[in-house]
Structure 1
Amino acid sequence: MSATGRVRLRLSTLCLLMLGACAAAGIALALPGVVPQDAVRDNVAATRLHALFDADGAWRRQEYGYTEVDGRWRQSARLPSNTPEAWERRAAHWSDTLAKLDAIPADALTREDQVNLAVFRTAMQADVENAVRRTWEAPFNSDTFFWTGFAPRQPYQSEQEWRDYIGRLGDIPRVFDEHIDNMERGLARGWSVPLASLDNRDNTIVPYTLDDAANPLLAAFDTIPATLPEAVRAQLRADGRKVVLEEAVPAYRRLLSYMRKDYLPRTRTSISAADLPDGAAFYRGQIREYVTRDMDPREIHELGLAEVARISAEMREVMARAGFEGSFEEFLAYLRSDPKFYARSPHELLATAAYVAKKVDGQLKHVLGTLPRYRFTILPVADDIAPNYTAGRGGLEACWFNTYDLPSRPLYNLPALTLHECSPGHSLQAALALEAPERPDFRQRTYFSGYGEGWALYTEWLGTLMGIYETPYEDFGRLSFEMWRAARLVIDTGLHEYGWSREQAIEYLASHAALSRPDIVNEVDRYISWPGQALSYYIGYKTIRDLRVEAELELGADFDQKTFHDTILRLGSVPLPVLEEEVRGFIAEQKAALSEV
């Protein structure tokens, strides 16, 4: 019996035991046959809604090849199909599910189920739009590739997980062939990744074409834990080596040849999303997907310009506090070139990040009421993707920091980066979502960029209240990161709405943020090839900052940031309009409670 079933059984038993006592006390109970009509209506609507949740979950596990272990989804021994027929099947399923959702009266649901419905519908609408637009015909971008991510970031712990990994490696030839067929279809209709954003990206395939320990797929088998018997480890290594050399490596070699001889010479030379088929509507759809609200690109552009001006003034104030007497441009040059701002080894960079993360641990009790039990680790970005990867990325299992090209990784940026990626940003946020109150399981897997990236950027600012920034340079690094996200509003819309060139975008970011040149180029290429995603950070951040100002004004001296933050994090990932409704409901409840005291 499920946990929900056990709770319902206990409640039913308790109600029966209470019948006599309630009757003696004159308390009316809603017995079978006299259930209030509203309750019946609520139960019918909720039953239909949760039946859709359950059906979709079962469908997704089958469709994408997942198994469920201890309540968590895990990839099985097969990889999902990427054929046009598979995408047509998915689009039909999602469209049918949306039609059934629309037939459920939202006003008959509890507030919790209204949130569930909003999360489910918003995510599925994005799924449908991408499937119908056939975005899968350009199945990668300058930042994220379908040919990486197969090797485990941390060693699997069970024999079955290793067996499943070997099974997926054997599936790589089919998957790559499907992607190549789709890319050919995309090229034929003018739907492809911009060439300008793909410099050296083909080189990320090269490590997987090797037949020695430098191949990440083979190297993974050297990490099989000693907790498995030696005979099992030996057999796994032998089976893994066979499938890598006979199946995966040839597939990677074919892919590399295709990319260099066919795709790159033929992919589009334009960079704006507007140049894609029905590009203007596609870009607005991407904004809707990542920001989770309808916003006009020109409105976003103007917001970005205003925020860039505000942050610029703050950056100059911090520059003065650092005692620098030259121009702003000279200060940026100084920060980018002085060796004292850079780690001398990968270990030093990772150790600095770990120190910041531990310093944050000591402050969490002052900013959060609920702390997760799950723990993350800190790891370097894998060598095969590091040259074209962002400075860091965080998730449930780990925070990854890029140690490639250390002269481009200033240490004064690490406090803000650690807050964002690790704690109280992405890793902590993911752990709280995992440990959230019982909800439909899709709520743990759904991620809205506006909410998640907005919270993570907000935690960079929160570090100013936590005492994390120890020097003016670290505070300038924080502001440089904030500027980086605000400038994205200008650059992303500049590229895809106003027709900016790649060089114009690079120079705009370089003149406003103390990022290294390689980071700036990688970031602009990401905005070119991934329209709309970069807008989510600052708009989500501004939404949370504005809500905090609203709560502080409404509650005055009774404002408690711990309950404010718990309200946001307890929700899990939700669309920004839902976040606003829930936080404003929290403010109203707090005010009502205070008025009764």
Structure 2
Amino acid sequence: MRALKFALIIGVAAMTLPAGPAMAAEACACDAQDNTAKSAADRQFETIYTAEYEWRTGQMAPDEDSGSDAGAGLPDVGPEKQAEKLARWTDTIKALDALDKDALSPENKVNYAVYRQQVESLLAAQQYREYEKPMTADTSFWGDIGYWTRGDFNTAADYENYIAMMKQIPRYFDQQIVNMRAGLKRGFTPPRITLQGRDSEIAAVVDAPSAEESPLYAPFAKMSDAVPAAKQDELRAQARAAIKQAVVPAYSRLLTFMRDDYLPHARTSLAAYDLPDGKAYYRSKIREFVTRDMSADEIHQIGLDEVAKIKARMQNVMQEVGFEGTLPEFNTFLRTDPQFYVTKPQDLLDRAAWIAKMFDGKASQYFGHLPRSRFAIKPVPASIAPYYTGGRGGPGIYLVNTYDLPSRPLYSLPALTLHESAPGHAFQMPLAAENTKLPAFRRDTYLSAYGEGWAVYSEKLGEEMGIYQTPYELYGMLSYQMWRAARLVVDTGIHAKGWTRKQAQQYLLENTALSEHEVTTEVDRYIAWPGQALSYYMGELAIVQERARAEKALGEKFNIRAFHDAVLELGSVPLPVITQRVDQLIADGGVGPYPDEE
């Protein structure tokens, strides 16, 4: 997924919030008692978060979830800057502790809960020195540089900023290497198995026959007509020089480091428990990505229970289509029968576009308030496609992976499209960004439990909307639901229960219709990114449970559009905030935030 100009992807720790309507009543009582003190507390809080968030946005590196604003340059990730971050977030927590929280307005009580947990999550990551492991199984700081090549280049200044950014790559890479050496020394690395082949991404830049054929030269291949021809020639010459003099040497040093030092000496164990202070570290990642303080055992059992429920539905579909055999045999049939696959990349893109338009035809029945933003459908770049997931989306973009077409089944494409485009990431994230009633730290920040939970809920909603046209497509959705439920079992199994890589792969192969290629890349992703996989199904469960509660409480007054609008107006929040918002929806008699649009 991606965000607009800037998005910070974090999870947040568990939180305690007042119950929904009670919170508003309590706040009203505070208003009556001491308006002056409350106003002062609000001003103090807003000063804290405005200053910190403005500072925070300047510390972040480019990635798939941030914009491609090359004018921002590459951040400082050296030791002094890391110490500054630790001190800043420590001081911010102290300042929040000193606030009179009871005197905050109702809106700022919610803002406080969201903001505090953002900062607590950032502080925890800094305390565990996660900057010493700047990569997962399918993302990396060097790969993220490529996202700038797909940014908006309209003026000469855009190209000049990009060239200036390329000149910063040597400093940036050298700092990252120093951090990685420190992580290597203390055994804080991704497991070696998840790093296989990752050096090829770096080598693609080093081994490019010429500067013009470098992946980083892409913005200059066809430049904006708004830039005069003479200026284009000048900028192209500067870009070639930057690639030769700065980019290639920096990538060469990184390639040598990766091949000679990092890859051979990365840790061989898989579990987060095996990292320094591993049990506490994994518990912190659960808090971050689930936004609730839960144990690995609790989540593992939820996963087992949900897998059993979904498996029963999958077997019903298998029987409906008349397949005689076991569920694993049916999954093998789906993985191997040519009827479920295309042979041309454009055919996959075309099918995804058709599904997206199917949603457009039904959107007004399920959503009162729609985003202004639209999205393009594009293939995942070839340089990262072998290690990338089947698709990702966000404001302005839905990336479809056309690499290895025999691993991209059509029966899963409707669920994937609903998740990554609309009403999933390319729908929810623009709505947050366009909601100017929210402070920037809620508009622009992405919480996995909320965002991924909403996207998985969007897949489930597709059945109700009539998006799945065949039993096989319904099975594809169920397989995706199973995939996310199985993640609860696999992630906790790997990081807390000693599961092997093969054991995790086999569990997914037996319980889902994912291709073997997808199973391999997904398991490696879970191994390299502890806890993140938990956010999807735990987030969906929360939304499904809150919808059921609203339906029961409101009866005939329940309005699906009002419910969706209420959840989506929140921005990106921890799961307990959704409960609080549904409390308010029920108290309001089912009237949502945009009654004129319902």
**Normalising by the residue count of structure 1, what TM-score does the alignment of the two structures yield?**
0.90
State the 1:258 CA deviation.
1.1
Structure 2 residue aligned with 1:144, among 126, 139, 142? 139
Tell me the matched-pair count.
554
Q: 1: CA distance between counterparts of 2:235 and 2:396?
A: 24
Q: 2: CA distance between counterparts of 1:342 and 1:272?
A: 35
Describe how 1:79-478 pairs up with structure 2 within 5 A: 79-151=74-146, 152-209=149-206, 210-212=208-210, 213-478=212-477
State the 1:162 CA deviation.
1.8
| C-alpha contact (below 8 Å) 1:77/1:165 kept by paired residues | no
The answer to which structure, 1 or 2, has the higher relative contact order (CA under 8 A, 6+ apart) is: 2
Describe how 1:462-541 pairs up with structure 2 within 5 A: 462-541=461-540
State the 1:414 CA deviation.
0.6
Q: 2: CA distance between counterparts of 1:175 and 1:268?
A: 24
Q: 2: CA distance between counterparts of 1:156 and 1:444?
A: 25
Structure 2 residue aligned with 1:57, among 53, 75, 94? 53
Stretches of structure 2 lacking an aligned partner (at least 5 in a row): 1-30, 593-598
Structure 2 residue aligned with 1:39, among 35, 41, 60? 35
Helix, strand or coil at the partner of 2:497: coil
Q: 1: CA distance between counterparts of 2:156 and 2:555?
A: 57
Q: 2: CA distance between counterparts of 1:429 and 1:56?
A: 25
Stretches of structure 1 lacking an aligned partner (at least 5 in a row): 1-34, 67-71
Helix, strand or coil at the partner of 2:513: coil
> Which residue type is aligned with residue 520 of structure 1?
V
State the 1:153 CA deviation.
2.3
State the 1:105 CA deviation.
2.0
Helix, strand or coil at the partner of 2:377: strand
State the 1:293 CA deviation.
1.1
Helix, strand or coil at the partner of 1:79: coil
**Normalising by the residue count of structure 2, what TM-score does the alignment of the two structures yield?**
0.90
| C-alpha contact (below 8 Å) 2:342/2:348 kept by paired residues | yes
Shift in CA distance, 36/552, structure 1 to aligned 2, threshold 3 Å:
closer
> Which residue type is aligned with residue 445 of structure 1?
D
State the 1:40 CA deviation.
0.8
Helix, strand or coil at the partner of 1:378: strand
Shift in CA distance, 578/36, structure 1 to aligned 2, threshold 3 Å:
closer
> Which residue type is aligned with residue 48 of structure 1?
Q
Q: 1: CA distance between counterparts of 2:293 and 2:53?
A: 28
Q: 1: CA distance between counterparts of 2:69 and 2:34?
A: 40
Aligned equivalent of 2:17? none
Q: 2: CA distance between counterparts of 1:478 and 1:554?
A: 29
Shift in CA distance, 430/531, structure 1 to aligned 2, threshold 3 Å:
same
Q: 1: CA distance between counterparts of 2:351 and 2:459?
A: 16
My pick for the range that moved more, 521-530 or 161-170, is 161-170
| C-alpha contact (below 8 Å) 2:68/2:151 kept by paired residues | no
| C-alpha contact (below 8 Å) 2:558/2:590 kept by paired residues | no
State the 1:73 CA deviation.
9.8
Helix, strand or coil at the partner of 1:515: coil
Q: 2: CA distance between counterparts of 1:380 and 1:296?
A: 38
Helix, strand or coil at the partner of 1:539: helix
| C-alpha contact (below 8 Å) 1:567/1:583 kept by paired residues | yes
Q: Deviations over 1:244-271 (max 9, x none)?
A: 1211111112111111111111110111
Q: 1: CA distance between counterparts of 2:583 and 2:414?
A: 31
> Which residue type is aligned with residue 426 of structure 2?
S
| C-alpha contact (below 8 Å) 1:137/1:182 kept by paired residues | yes
Aligned equivalent of 2:596? none
Shift in CA distance, 225/322, structure 1 to aligned 2, threshold 3 Å:
farther
Shift in CA distance, 54/77, structure 1 to aligned 2, threshold 3 Å:
closer
| C-alpha contact (below 8 Å) 1:341/1:412 kept by paired residues | yes
> Which residue type is aligned with residue 164 of structure 2?
G
State the 1:592 CA deviation.
9.9
Q: Deviations over 1:379-403 (max 9, x none)?
A: 1001100000000000112010100
| C-alpha contact (below 8 Å) 1:77/1:166 kept by paired residues | no
State the 1:569 CA deviation.
0.4
> Which residue type is aligned with residue 57 of structure 1?
Y
> Which residue type is aligned with residue 201 of structure 1?
R
My pick for the range that moved more, 262-271 or 229-238, is 229-238
Q: 1: CA distance between counterparts of 2:325 and 2:519?
A: 23
State the 1:74 CA deviation.
4.1
Q: Deviations over 1:408-429 (max 9, x none)?
A: 1101111000000000000111
Shift in CA distance, 62/468, structure 1 to aligned 2, threshold 3 Å:
closer
Helix, strand or coil at the partner of 1:44: helix
| C-alpha contact (below 8 Å) 2:411/2:472 kept by paired residues | yes
State the 1:222 CA deviation.
1.1
Q: 2: CA distance between counterparts of 1:455 and 1:366?
A: 18
Shift in CA distance, 125/36, structure 1 to aligned 2, threshold 3 Å:
same
| C-alpha contact (below 8 Å) 1:155/1:224 kept by paired residues | no
> Which residue type is aligned with residue 134 of structure 1?
R
> Which residue type is aligned with residue 205 of structure 1?
I
Q: 2: CA distance between counterparts of 1:211 and 1:584?
A: 61
Q: Deviations over 1:437-467 (max 9, x none)?
A: 3332222221110000000000000001111
> Which residue type is aligned with residue 92 of structure 2?
T
| C-alpha contact (below 8 Å) 1:155/1:220 kept by paired residues | no
Helix, strand or coil at the partner of 1:433: helix
State the 1:37 CA deviation.
5.0
| C-alpha contact (below 8 Å) 1:53/1:440 kept by paired residues | no
Helix, strand or coil at the partner of 1:399: strand
> Which residue type is aligned with residue 340 of structure 1?
Q
Aligned equivalent of 1:69? none
Helix, strand or coil at the partner of 2:378: strand
My pick for the range that moved more, 457-466 or 50-59, is 50-59
Aligned equivalent of 1:32? none
Aligned equivalent of 1:22? none
Q: 2: CA distance between counterparts of 1:79 and 1:477?
A: 41
Q: 2: CA distance between counterparts of 1:299 and 1:438?
A: 37
Helix, strand or coil at the partner of 2:150: coil
| C-alpha contact (below 8 Å) 2:121/2:288 kept by paired residues | yes
Q: 2: CA distance between counterparts of 1:193 and 1:460?
A: 31
Q: 1: CA distance between counterparts of 2:177 and 2:551?
A: 54
Shift in CA distance, 63/273, structure 1 to aligned 2, threshold 3 Å:
closer
State the 1:155 CA deviation.
4.0
Aligned equivalent of 2:24? none
Q: 1: CA distance between counterparts of 2:457 and 2:61?
A: 36
Shift in CA distance, 159/530, structure 1 to aligned 2, threshold 3 Å:
same
Q: 1: CA distance between counterparts of 2:468 and 2:261?
A: 49
Q: 1: CA distance between counterparts of 2:258 and 2:204?
A: 15
Residues 1:572 and 2:571 aligned together: yes
